[in-house]
Amino acid sequence: RAIEEEQFLVYLQPKYRLSDGSPCGAEALVRWFHEQKGFISPGQFIPALEKGGYISELDRYMIEKVTGCLDQRRAEKKRFVPVSVNLSWMDFYDENMLEWIVRGLKKNNPNEQKIRFEITETSLAAIGENHTRMLMHLKENGAEILLDDFGSGYSSFGMLQDYDFDILKMDISFVRNIGVNKKSESILRAIIDMAHQLGIRLVAEGAETEEQVAFLRANGCDYIQGYYYYKPMPENEFLQLLDEGK
């Protein structure tokens, strides 16, 4: 009912290229404004939706909204950037949904493909090999794949060996420890180095301070997403930033 009544909103958080500070993408994050309870955080309702088996319906809704927005920008010949949508591990058990995503990808020129998918390493570890292949099938059809929360859960170098990810997103906990914990800093440097040797780009999530940004820039991280630049914002505010060239 919340979907039908449009209580879910797409918020977008920009990502920036560290080398020159230019905008290079965004992540779509769901927000729920409940009619009586007001704002409810995704950390609260997403686990409930997963438990009830409804998460794929929400993810599909988010993909529709983001694709619609990107198509409109393209039609209006306005500036846009790639936007990534989060996938739950449950989406990989919904064959109809995956086929629907691939059909959507095939409609566009792969060089123009502006949708990306984020999957957490923990989700990836929870899905079987057959289903992981489906993830790569999305990639073959032009979508970039981003491995989220890297280093936080069941990290496996085997995953990096067996699958071609485009982007790694380092877990927020490492970034928080910049300037606090020397071990975290060494791990960050090592992850950046390893990813680059594998030809994978890196996003650091959750950068809030000048010090964190300076460390990440000095150590060759490619992109940054965090409150240092902007918090997730409603779609219209995000589009306004894009129009203003910010």
Point out which residues bind Ca ion (CB under 5 A): 86, 118, 148-149
Q: How many residues bind ligand C2E (CB under 6 A)?
A: 23
136 is an interface residue for ligand C2E by CB under 6 A: no
Q: Which is nearer to ligand C2E, 195 or 213 (CB)?
A: 213
Q: What is the DSSP string of the chain?
A: -TTTTT-EEEEEEEEEETTT--EEEEEEEEEEEETTTEEE-HHHHHHHHHHHT-HHHHHHHHHHHHHHHHHHHHHTT-----EEEE--GGGGG-HHHHHHHHHHHHHS-GGG--EEEEEEHHHHHHS-HHHHHHHHHHHHTT-EEEEEEETSSS--HHHHHHS--SEEEE-HHHHHTTTT-HHHHHHHHHHHHHHHHTT-EEEEE---SHHHHHHHHHTT--EEESTTT---EEHHHHHHHHHTT-
206 is an interface residue for ligand C2E by CB under 6 A: yes
Q: Which is nearer to Ca ion, 111 or 132 (CB)?
A: 132
Smallest distance, ligand C2E to C-beta of residue 113, A: 19
94 is an interface residue for ligand C2E by CB under 6 A: no
Smallest distance, Ca ion to C-beta of residue 91, A: 13
Residue 121 binding: pick among Ca ion, ligand C2E, none (C-beta 5-8 Å cut-off by kind): none
Residue 44 binding: pick among Ca ion, ligand C2E, none (C-beta 5-8 Å cut-off by kind): none
Q: Which is nearer to Ca ion, 36 or 44 (CB)?
A: 44
- Which chain residues interact with ligand C2E by CB under 6 A? 13, 29-30, 41-43, 46, 55, 59, 62, 86, 88, 118, 148-149, 205-208, 225-227, 232
